[in-house]
Structure 1
Amino acid sequence: MRGGAVPARRSALRPPRTDNKVVGAAAVVVAAPFAVGSLHEYATPCGSLVAYSVSTLVCRAMSARRRKGEDLI
């Protein structure tokens, strides 16, 4: 390697493990009854949550459609 370039670590790009997804889904199910009833009182945070949700879905869709050789970051 010329110029002292350091190769990127591929291990940091591993997808999340399945047990992490299970714990996240369980946390959403447990917290939803408490959160849904009170969120309608706060318009600005709700708008931010919707924007972040849409952004997450768009990024996930773009990542799912990309070719293996390309890197979006």
Structure 2
Amino acid sequence: MAGFSGSDRFLRIKDVVQSTGLSRSYIYQLSGCGEFPQPIKLGIKASAWLESEVEEWKRSRVKGSRATSSNFGG
């Protein structure tokens, strides 16, 4: 995934849910099997995702979807 940039924001789980439209449990499931960016531990009970990594994941999903759907166009 993308590297850290000084202007990168940390997104907490509620922000990731809102940004992706995925459920909290599904985000953790995808993350656990390597299909979604890994959260970064901020503390004992706090984790966050890099905004750039979540945005990159979203772009890859759109790109993959467009490539697949173009095969049905004829």
Note whether the superposition's TM-score is higher than 0.5: no
Larger Rg over CA atoms: 1
- TM-score normalised to the size of structure 2? 0.37
Which one has a larger percent strand, Structure 1 or Structure 2? 2
* Larger RCO, structure (CA 8 Å, separation 6 or more): 2
